[in-house]
Amino acid sequence: MKRQLLAALIAAQIPVTASIAADTALQEELLVIGSRDNRTIQLAETVEITADAAQLLKKAPGANVNGNGPLTGIPQYRGMFGDRIKVTVNGSTLSSGGPNWMDPPLSYAPAAQLESLEVTRGIAPVSAGQETIGGAINATTWSGDFSESNDFAVSARLRAGGQSVNRGSLGSATLVVANHSHKFKLSALTEQGDDANFSGGSGSKVEPSEYKRQRFDLGYGLRFGNHSLQFDLGSNQTDDTGTPALPMDIDYIDADLASAHYAFDSGELAANLRIYGSNILHGMTNFHLRQAPMAKGMYRQNIAEGNNRGFKFDIATGNWKIGLDGHLETHDSNIDNINNSNFFVVNFNDAEREIFGAFVEHQYEFSNGLETELGLRANRVVMDAGEVDGTPARMMMAMSGMSSGMGMPMMTTMMPGPGMRMRDTFNSADRSQQDNNIDWVAKAYLPTSDVTTLYAGLARKSRSASYQERYLWLPLQATAGLADGRTYTGNLELKAEVAHELELGFDFDGQDLTLSPRVFYREVTDYIQGTVTGDGNANAFVAMMNTMNSTSNAAPLQFNNVDAELYGFDMDWRYRLDNNWSLSGLVNYVRGQRVDSDAKDNLYRIAPFNGSLALNYAGAQWGISVEGVVYDEQSQVSSYNREQASSGYGVLNLRGQWQLNSGTRLGFGVDNALDRYYSEHLAGTNRVSGNADIAKGEHLPGYGRNAYARIDVEF
C-alpha cells in the first residue's frame, strides 16, 4: 500500500508560497498561504461548510485531527495531540470545560466565523505559548477593520450553506460599524445537522452524529494615536450533539467568553497586553441521544464546570521580544443517575492548574544571509485539587473469617471496599504539586540561492500533567478524549514531559515549482500515557463493578511516565502548469513508539501515512479542483490501549467556486464523490449500543457522498 501511495502522490496537496498570490486569476490554491514558519488556512477562500474547524487542519502539512464527534475534533500534529498542542482563539487560551474534551478549544471557533486558521510549521517559537511541546495553532475570527475616515461606515460578512450527508445547514452574519477611532461588532451564528449517512446501504447512519450550535458576539474597539483597545464578549451554546467514540453525548455546553486587548505600535516599539476569561457549563449523558442502558442503575449524567482566566503581555523592539503570560483553570465534575438520587461521584472537585511563564526571543540576520532565531522560556506549573467522594467509595466488603470452633458459624467482618480505600488514599495525600519547566528553541535559515533556503531547528520543550492525568482518583473514562474505551486512574507523582527535537529541511520557491519538505525526530522523556496499574484497589474495583453490573471492562490503566520517540516526514508542494492550471500535493508520515526498557509498544492514535494530490484550475471568475486523498493502513497500534488496526483507503473530492460579483461568491463541491466506504483511523471506534449499522467496538465509518454549497456575501 505504501508503494501505491508514493507512486500516486509523490507529494502533497496545499499550495504554499505567497509569491503566487500576485496572480490576478481567482486562486483556489490560495486556500493555504505558506511562509517558512506557518501555514495559514484562509477561510474566505474555502468552499466547505464543515462545522468543526479542526477538520480544516488536514489541509496543512503534518496536521490531522482526532474525531470523536461532529464538533469535537482534537488537533493532532506530528503524532502529538490534545493539550500537548497550544491552541489559541484570537490569541486567548481556552481550556475545555469537560473532562473528556467534548468541547476542545477549536470548538469555540466555528469555521463559518473564522478569518484564518494558522498552524505553526514544525518547532513553535517560545513566544507562541506556554506549553508547545506538540506545536501551536491560532484561530482568528473576522471582526472588520477601522476606517480611515471620521464618518461611520458599515461592513458585513454573511455566510449560508447546506450539505446533503446530514442535511446540515449554517447561517452566519457579522456586522461592523466603524470609523477612524471606533469600531462596533455584532455577530451571530446558527448551525445544525442530523445523523450523517455513510456508504453501507440505504439508510446507513452514524448514530449519534447530530449537532446543534449557536454563537453570539459583541465587540468594541477604540483607536487613538499609536494605541488601540479591543473588548469582546461571546456566548457559545451547543445542544444535543453526538460523540459516538465517547461513553456519553453532549446534552448542553453553555460558555461565556470575554477578552480585552491593548496594543501599542510606534514603529520602533510594539507592545501587547491581552486579558481573557471564560466560564463553561457542560452537561452530558449516556441515554438521551444514544440507546439508553438496559439497567436503570447504569444511567449516567455528568455535570461539569470549567473556569479559565489568563493574560499575555509582550514587548518587541528591534530583534528582541520579551513577555510574560499566565493561565489559570479550575474544574469540577459530578456524575449522577437520574433514576437514583442516592448515586453520585465527585469526579473532580476544584481541580486547579495554574501556569505562569516568561520568555525572551531574539532574531538576527548575518551578512551572508543566515538568519537565526533563539528563544528561552521558563514556566512554573502549580496544581491542586479538593477532596472527593462518591457512592462507590461508601461500599463495604464482606470478609468471612475463621470459625470459632465447637460448631459455631463462620464470622463475617465488613471491610472497606476498594473504592473507599482509593478515596481515602487520595484525600489523605498531598495533592499540591508544582513543576518548574525550561524550554529553548534554536532555528537557522541559510539561503543558498535565490530560490532555495536550507533550514535546521533544535528545541527543548516541556509539558506538565493535565488535571485528568493527575487527579482522576477512581477508574473512569474521563481522559480528555482518548476514546480508547479503557478506564484510567491518575497519578499524583507524574513528572513533566521533556522533549528534545531536531528538524531539518529546505524551502524551494521557483517560478513554477514550490515545495517545502521537513524531516523531524523528537525524543520525549517522561511521556505520559496509560500503563498497567500497580494499584490493587483499582483492579479490585473494576473487577467488583464487572461482577455487579455483568460487564467485562478491561483492567484499568494508570497514567505513568514512560520514554517515547516520534519521527517522520511531511511536505507540501505546488507546480504551476500554466497561468490557470496547477498541481498541488501533501504528504505526511509519523512514527511514534515507546522506547523505555519496561515495554516496547507503539504510541496510541497516531495518524497513518497519508497524502493528497489535486489538479486545480483558476480562472478570472471561477475555479475548480479535483482532489484525491489516500490513507495507508495503520497496523502499528498501541497494545496498552487495545487499539485496533485500520485499513487503508482513498476518496475523491470535487470542489469549485464562482465569483458572482466583487462581494458575492458561491462555493460548491462533492466530498467522497464515488461514495466509497472507509473508516478513518483517528475517528475512533463506536461506543454506542443498539446501532443496527455499526457494531459496538467497530471503527466508525467515514461519511458517504456529500454534496454541499455555500454562499458568501461581503460588503
Q: Looking at residue 44, what is its pLDDT? A: 80
Better-scored residue on pLDDT, 1 or 690:
690
Classify residue 404: in a domain, yes or no.
Answer: no
Q: Looking at residue 553, what is its pLDDT? A: 87
Q: What is the pLDDT of residues 453-474, one digit of tens each?
A: 999 999 999 999 999 999 999 9
Residue 415 confidence class, pLDDT cut points 50, 70, 90: confident
518 pLDDT above the threshold of 50: yes
94 contacts 108 by C-beta, under 8 angstroms: yes
Tell me what the mean pLDDT of segment 561-570 comes to.
98
Classify residue 401: in a domain, yes or no.
Answer: no
- pTM for the whole structure: 0.93
Classify residue 409: in a domain, yes or no.
Answer: no
Classify residue 427: in a domain, yes or no.
Answer: yes
What is the number of structural domains in the chain?
1
315 pLDDT above the threshold of 50: yes
3-state helix, strand, coil in the chain (%, to 5): 10, 55, 35
Tell me what the mean pLDDT of segment 316-333 comes to.
98
Q: How many CB atoms lie within 10 A of CB 81?
A: 26
Classify residue 399: in a domain, yes or no.
Answer: no
Q: What is the mean pLDDT of the chain?
A: 92
- Short-list 640, 485, 483, CA closest to 551: 485
Tell me what the mean pLDDT of segment 305-326 comes to.
97
Domain containing 635 equals 2-394+417-714
- Short-list 485, 541, 471, 102, CA closest to 302: 102
Classify residue 695: in a domain, yes or no.
Answer: yes
Enumerate residues 6+ apart whose C-beta is below 8 A from 375.
Answer: 125, 126, 127, 359, 360, 361, 362, 439, 440, 441, 442
- Distance of alpha carbon 608 from alpha carbon 588, whole angstroms: 8
Q: What is the pLDDT of residues 608-646, one digit of tens each?
A: 999 999 999 999 999 999 999 999 999 999 999 999 999
Give me the CATH number covering residue 46. 2.40.170.20
Residue 407 confidence class, pLDDT cut points 50, 70, 90: low
Residue 400 confidence class, pLDDT cut points 50, 70, 90: low
Classify residue 135: in a domain, yes or no.
Answer: yes
Residue 7 confidence class, pLDDT cut points 50, 70, 90: very low
Classify residue 408: in a domain, yes or no.
Answer: no
Q: Looking at residue 31, what is its pLDDT? A: 62
Report the percentage of the chain scoring pLDDT > 70.
93
How does DSSP assign 675-690, residue by residue? ----B-GGG-B---TT
Residue 398 confidence class, pLDDT cut points 50, 70, 90: low
